[in-house]
Amino acid sequence: MSIRLAIIGAGIMGSDHARIFSGDLPGASVQVVCDASGERARAVAEACGAADVSTDPLETIARGDVDAVLVASPDETHAPLSLAAIRAGKPVLCEKPLSQSGRECLDVIEAEVARGRQFVQLGFMRRFDPSYTEMKAALSDGTLGRAIMMHNFHRNVEAPANFTGQMAITNSAPHEFDVARFVLGADYTAISVFQPGAVDGAQTGAPVFMVLETDRGQLVNIEINNNAAYGYDVRGELIGEKGSVFLNAPIHLRYNIALTAAERYAPDWRPRFAEAYRLQNRAFLHFVRTGSFPAIAAHAWDGYCAARVAEAGVEALATGARVDIAVAERPALYQRS
Amino acid sequence: MSIRLAIIGAGIMGSDHARIFSGDLPGASVQVVCDASGERARAVAEACGAADVSTDPLETIARGDVDAVLVASPDETHAPLSLAAIRAGKPVLCEKPLSQSGRECLDVIEAEVARGRQFVQLGFMRRFDPSYTEMKAALSDGTLGRAIMMHNFHRNVEAPANFTGQMAITNSAPHEFDVARFVLGADYTAISVFQPGAVDGAQTGAPVFMVLETDRGQLVNIEINNNAAYGYDVRGELIGEKGSVFLNAPIHLRYNIALTAAERYAPDWRPRFAEAYRLQNRAFLHFVRTGSFPAIAAHAWDGYCAARVAEAGVEALATGARVDIAVAERPALYQRS
Amino acid sequence: MSIRLAIIGAGIMGSDHARIFSGDLPGASVQVVCDASGERARAVAEACGAADVSTDPLETIARGDVDAVLVASPDETHAPLSLAAIRAGKPVLCEKPLSQSGRECLDVIEAEVARGRQFVQLGFMRRFDPSYTEMKAALSDGTLGRAIMMHNFHRNVEAPANFTGQMAITNSAPHEFDVARFVLGADYTAISVFQPGAVDGAQTGAPVFMVLETDRGQLVNIEINNNAAYGYDVRGELIGEKGSVFLNAPIHLRYNIALTAAERYAPDWRPRFAEAYRLQNRAFLHFVRTGSFPAIAAHAWDGYCAARVAEAGVEALATGARVDIAVAERPALYQRS
Amino acid sequence: MSIRLAIIGAGIMGSDHARIFSGDLPGASVQVVCDASGERARAVAEACGAADVSTDPLETIARGDVDAVLVASPDETHAPLSLAAIRAGKPVLCEKPLSQSGRECLDVIEAEVARGRQFVQLGFMRRFDPSYTEMKAALSDGTLGRAIMMHNFHRNVEAPANFTGQMAITNSAPHEFDVARFVLGADYTAISVFQPGAVDGAQTGAPVFMVLETDRGQLVNIEINNNAAYGYDVRGELIGEKGSVFLNAPIHLRYNIALTAAERYAPDWRPRFAEAYRLQNRAFLHFVRTGSFPAIAAHAWDGYCAARVAEAGVEALATGARVDIAVAERPALYQRS
């Protein structure tokens, strides 16, 4: 039996997910595409062969012919729609963030705890990227010894004109917060935030540099630079007692042209993480089919932790001080072996 | 409607194809797994959820509940089983080579010509590897100017003890023959073959070095080294008037360990070409569904050309002379725009 | 006329300098080798063809047959011996640090100012490394736009057992403090220092991570990791508005062996910076010959700035707080155009 | 005592050598610069501080105040001037080739044999390049096992308009002939030469591809591509039983700019081999001082071997056939342990 999916949100992310589910993975079909814009919904529905369209997300989630839900609507709807899916008893793959508010994340967690099982798989797709999984393996198989430090670099070509350091922390950094926490198997205890000033009197695109400390003693450094100009580039290095590993972006060609040997950057994140999305969504279908939550996927608690770090980061940015990160008690539902 | 596939041959290649069709692609299911060994067939059938097993390939191909065929049985059965599929009017994805005999390839070609359409997609999967398609694009978009030379290197960790230079030409080199011809859009006119001698009196694993000439004036050099010891490694460089491009094997991590910065090689071809196989098989399903042969896939004529080069290469190896490559006239069915 | 040099200190650094001056550069000869150990002095003197040996540095500096002085004796003697050279009116190439005490550096500065010219060239040799000079050029020629951030990584295989975070700041980091300041053409205004804790309950080799702010608005991040295990490795990245540049350690071979493609790290700094030392010492001889201080070399004021940053870093490490960096007023003698 | 050198030839190569001897090496000074153009001689003499100039090479070589000779005059003068130096009993560092005629090389050899010692060090400077010496070490220390094959690639940005395949063999390839022979410790027995044809009807810059066989059983492949457009690029790979090594051109920076990660090529050979020239010339000075011929430098016999290969290559290019390479008997004077 093929899984019937509802895609909520027909923007860039939603249409990408619709394409992956319909064209790259077996065992699922898109039943409904839902978007505030009926036109946008119809365009995506046509491209992925969906049976129906809608402009009402709650109604869509409740439909009898929908087995599972993909939420890629605006950020502030993620938690409410995830809650609706939980109430409907349907698994949901929710784009990050679960919520920018740790408090709202706890609402979702409490709903899952009340039902005694997990429904929400959170779209921190980097956990499925082969670079990060191999990095985590280099730690767990002893290649690196104990982890000591991790450096993370997130660069985009250009941010919107009104992009701020705070938005770098709340919108971009959560991917880094989550994946470093995933690789290290640790939780954050404190965050310090630095920003370059006006260089020679002029602003330079609101990059942010963060130093995080973990409960296992590690340092995690994160640069968010959304006006890096040169390309979309995510890099990282994990440093252990015996050595270190770098993330390599998989590259297919090296060009010898015009006095340079050059490898190309993509202008956005999609080529870099295409395989991660495919593997993440495949894991979600397996979750829907079996009820067994994917071992490496992010769950609601992970979403809460990312939100709490971002909240502390915003405070650290505003005050210039090192801010401790306090979290609630982790429910047994989210313990990992 | 899901495409019902028969997998003929349940060895390494057949089971990989069964896994790809059942687990990584939408729109198909494995209906029958057929192998001379019923036990092997059952094991693969179980893994991919096939409905049935068989030990009779011709019967399997003829079944009413089989829409299309994957041939991954021993090399000498490729042409006969492809012919059977043509007779049954069913599309077939046939592992390379179509045949080691150019004459036998022509039999397949004649059968397709007689029916007025193509059925056989040949498993030269490298045409779907993103490195080669980007390389071809660097030529067609003018980045490199006209192509002048291409260097190709094929290395395996270790060949069977009785592996010979002739086998390097007939078993390993066809991938190189085909993909260079694909990238260049040219046909071969001559081949010269060289082998290292006994180095300091001892044999060194039968590597072969070939220089091919094309009808557009290019040189194509190919090293086949199946006892390269250090890893599975396929490399290539395309040299044009304006510059050159190297194939990069996509690598996910770089290890700083024990006084080295190291990237890992796989011991065999599967990780390197996993994506190529997935894309090739997806294109095959599209072919089955639409009847439209994939623009970049290898067809029977391509298989014939590879066989003819190998035949000339074997002669060049035996005689030490440069051997001209003659081919039959290409039927209109195989013209590409 | 050949320049007659005195080498003060016949340890690793002193014997390296003696070898460079006698074997790799024209226009100089080693006249005296001076060391507390007469035996060590004689060994180096013999290797570099020095005319004489001594155990008395002040006497050595004062000799009539000595034109210029190389100071590579223990750190605490650097400033006193530089002062002696100034008093003798002789140019001195002094290994870093000038002093760990900013106050003592000012003594040297005052001595030079009193004589109205510079005598002390400080051995921050990285300024002569082709990687850093090309990096600085990528800034000054506009390739990168304005500089925003710089990441610096300093790694050694293994530190002495009693090595501390404070020693990382005072002994290792000054190279980074100086070279980043040199590349950026900026001065530091504040420093924050972080250390990984005991990871899973055990110490991990006292790495230190620092965030520095400059008077032009840039962030400079420095990792000092003297127990990195995997090799001697100095890396850096300079991030500007238009792009970034990485330091590449020049590598001569890439080894395909045992399932890896590997480039080798040296176990210590000498191969990495051999060319930098040669160019630095050549510039020193030009300084001695012409009296014109090398445009890119570090002078006493640069040594003072490095000392002040280290002093602030030690305070930041001890207190956990961000520490402002105050410096004296820069004498006109040290203004650069 | 400083060695007094005569520089014969004040073109690009001669002035580079004058600069190296006067500015980068101890123990020598340029006594005379000699060139057919007195003006050119004076310009170089001034730059390197030479005592005198001349337009008469034979007179220059014979001068009592000249201890050793550097020959960088036009190719056809190399052998006659080397002979003059031998007659004068003076060591000579002669730019390659010794002669394009094997016969003329034998004249030089006979002159040395008659005097019972070597005078001529030939300017195959790549033997001193750290990449090649490390490559040779990877062979001699057993890292690679026995050598089986070597690939060599020589690329220039642009050749003169009238450059031919024959000139590629006689002018460019000798560096490759010599360095591969040096690395392998083998002699060539046969050569085959291939050229791309007119690609799509137009000429493409006369690249040449050669396959050489050695007396130890190895294959040596050489591409000469003097219109490679993209940069000066010398690459190579040595393949042994246990693995292979690539030459890496030492690179100092990697630029992230404009959607690429790029390393720069130089437009000509000088940056790539600057260190090789310096080490070669230092070895020559040691030879002059001690009379002991440098262990890894090329001597007259090596020059003869390179000339013989080129002669056979020219014949192979003209005839399209594989040509055997015959050499005279090697005099005992040129045996290496």
* pLDDT tens, residue by residue, C169-218: 999 999 999 999 999 999 999 999 999 988 877 777 789 999 999 999 99
Map residue B1 onto helix, strand or coil. coil
pLDDT band at A337 (very low <50, low <70, confident <90, very high): low
D259 reaches C (C-beta below 8 A): no
Does the pLDDT at position A228 exceed 80? Answer: yes
Q: What's at D188, amino acid-wise?
A: Y
Taking phi over 0 as left and psi of -120 to 50 as alpha, with beta for the rest, D251 belongs to beta
The residues in C 104-143 lying below 8 A from A, measured between CB atoms, are none
pLDDT of res. C24: 95
Helix, strand, or coil here: A308?
helix
Q: Which residues of C touch B233 (CB under 8 A)?
A: 256
pLDDT average, residue stretch D229-243: 97
Nearest to A252 among B243, B248, B253 (CB): B248
Name subunits touching D (3+ CB pairs < 8 A).
Answer: A, B, C
Cβ of B263 and A256 within 8 Å? no
- Rounded to whole angstroms, the Cα distance separating C134 from C231 reads 24
Which domains, and CATH codes, for chain C? 3-126+275-298 (3.40.50.720), 129-272+306-324 (3.30.360.10)
Residue D250 has a CB neighbour count (10 Å cut-off) of: 17
Instruction: Name the DSSP class of B76.
Output: G
- Alpha-carbon distance of C157 to C49, in angstroms, equals 33
Q: Which pLDDT score, from 0 to 100, does residue B337 have?
A: 63
Choose the mutation target among D158, D235, D259 for the interface with A, i.e. most A CBs under 10 Å. D259
What are the structure tokens assigned to D275, written together?
């260190």
Q: Do D196 and B148 touch (CB under 8 A)?
A: yes
Instruction: Check CB contact under 8 Å for D194 and B213.
Output: yes
What integer best gives the mean pLDDT of chain D? Answer: 96
**A261 vs D228, D259, D263: nearest CB:** D263
Question: Which CA distances in Å does A176 have to A151, A171, A210, A260?
Answer: 10, 11, 11, 32
Interface-testing mutation among B230, B233, B235, with chain C (most C C-beta atoms within 10 A): B230
Q: How far is B108 from B103, CA to CA, in rounded Å? A: 9
Q: Look at residue D249 in the predicted model and tell me its pLDDT.
A: 87
Distance from CA of B19 to the nearest CA of A (A): 11
First-to-last alpha carbon distance for chain B, in angstroms, is 31
Q: Report how far residue C239's alpha carbon sits from residue C216's, in angstroms, rounded to the nearest whole number.
A: 14
Residue A336 sits at the chain D interface (C-beta within 8 Å): no
pLDDT value, residue A198: 83
Q: Do D252 and C22 touch (CB under 8 A)?
A: no
CB contact under 8 Å between C200 and A209, yes or no, is no
Which pairing describes strands B28-34 and A260-264: parallel, antiparallel, or unpaired? unpaired
Question: Please, which residues have CB within 8 angstroms of residue D268's CB and are 6 or more apart in sequence?
Answer: D156, D157, D232
- Name the CA dihedral angle for B135, B136, B142, B144, rounded to a multiple of 10 degrees: 40
Q: Is the pLDDT of residue D171 over 80?
A: yes
- C262/B contact by beta carbon, under 8 A: yes
- Which letter does DSSP use for residue D128 in this model? G
Distance, in Å, from the CA atom of B38 to the CA atom of B54, rounded to the nearest integer, reads 7
Chain C contact for A200, CB < 8 A? yes
- pLDDT at residue D188 is higher than 80: yes
Instruction: Answer yes or no: is pLDDT of D203 > 90.
Output: no
Helix axes B270-290, B12-23, angle to 10 degrees: 60
Q: Is D230 helix (H, G, I), strand (E, B) or coil?
A: coil
Q: What angle do CA A270, A275, A276 make, to 5 degrees?
A: 85
CB contact under 8 A, B134 and A252: yes
Q: Mean pLDDT throughout A171-177?
A: 97
Give the gap in angstroms from C-alpha C244 to the nearest C-alpha of chain D. 5
Closest CB to C260 among B228, B259, B265: B265
CB B230 within 8 A of CB B158: no
Contacts of B258 in chain C (CB under 8 A): 230
Interface probe for D, chosen from C21, C241, C252, C275 (most Cβ of D below 10 Å), is C252
Note whether C183 and C150 are within 8 A (CB). yes
Q: Cα torsion for B89, B91, B95, B99, to the nearest 10°?
A: 40
Beta B92-94 vs B147-155: how paired, if at all?
unpaired
Q: Which candidate in B3, B252, B263 is best for mutational testing of the A interface (most A CBs within 10 A)?
A: B252
ipTM above 0.90, yes or no: yes
Low-confidence ranges of chain C (pLDDT < 50): none
Task: Inspect the interface and report whether the beta carbons of D197 and B213 lie closer than 8 Å.
Answer: yes
**Rounded to the nearest 10 degrees, what angle do helices C102-115 and C300-319 cross at?**
160
Inter-chain touch B197–D205, beta carbons under 8 Å: no
Per-residue pLDDT tens digits for A230-250? 999 999 999 999 999 999 888
Residue B90: which residues within 8 A CB-CB, separation 6 or more?
Answer: B61, B66, B67, B68, B69, B119
**Closest chain D C-alpha to B88 CA, distance in angstroms:** 42
Whether residue D91 is preceded by a cis peptide bond, meaning omega within 30 degrees of 0, is: no
What residues pair up with B34 in beta bridges, in sequence order? B8, B54
The two most distant CA atoms of chain C are separated, in Å, by 63
Distance (Å, rounded) from C-alpha C334 to C-alpha C105? 13
For chain C, say whether B290 makes contact (Cβ under 8 Å): no
Segment among A160-164, C56-60, D35-39 with least mean pLDDT: A160-164
pLDDT, mean over chain A: 96
Q: Which residues of A touch C223 (CB under 8 A)?
A: 149, 151
- A248 with B251: Cβ contact below 8 A: yes
- Would you give per-residue pLDDT tens digits along chain B (337 residues)? 699 999 999 999 999 999 999 999 999 999 999 999 999 999 999 999 999 999 999 999 999 999 999 999 999 999 999 999 999 999 999 999 999 999 999 999 999 999 999 999 999 999 999 999 999 999 999 999 999 999 999 999 999 988 999 999 999 999 999 999 999 999 999 999 999 988 877 777 789 999 999 999 999 999 999 999 999 999 999 999 999 999 988 899 999 999 999 999 999 988 999 999 999 999 999 999 999 999 999 999 999 999 999 999 999 999 999 999 999 999 999 987 6
Using the Cβ of C268 and the Cβ atoms of chain B, whether some distance falls under 8 Å is answered with no
Which among A234, A246, A253, A263 is the top mutation candidate for probing chain D, defined by the most D β-carbons within 10 Å of its own β-carbon? A263
Kindly report the number of other CB atoms within 10 A of residue B110's CB atom: 14
- What residues in A contact C229, CB-CB < 8 Å? 145, 241-243
Could you tell me the pTM of the whole model?
A: 0.96
- pLDDT given at position D205: 76
Check CB contact of B99 with chain D, cutoff 8 Å.
no
C179 Cα to chain A: minimum distance (Å): 19
Nearest CA in chain D to C28: D26
State the pLDDT at residue D240.
96
Neighbour-count burial of A61, counting CB atoms closer than 10 A to its CB (0-12 exposed, 13-18 middle, 19+ buried): buried
Count Cα neighbours of D145 within 13 Å in the Cβ-side half-sphere: 20
* A-chain residues near B26 (CB < 8 A): 22-28
Q: Which residues of B touch C257 (CB under 8 A)?
A: 230
The first and second tokens of residue A179, run together, are 């994946």
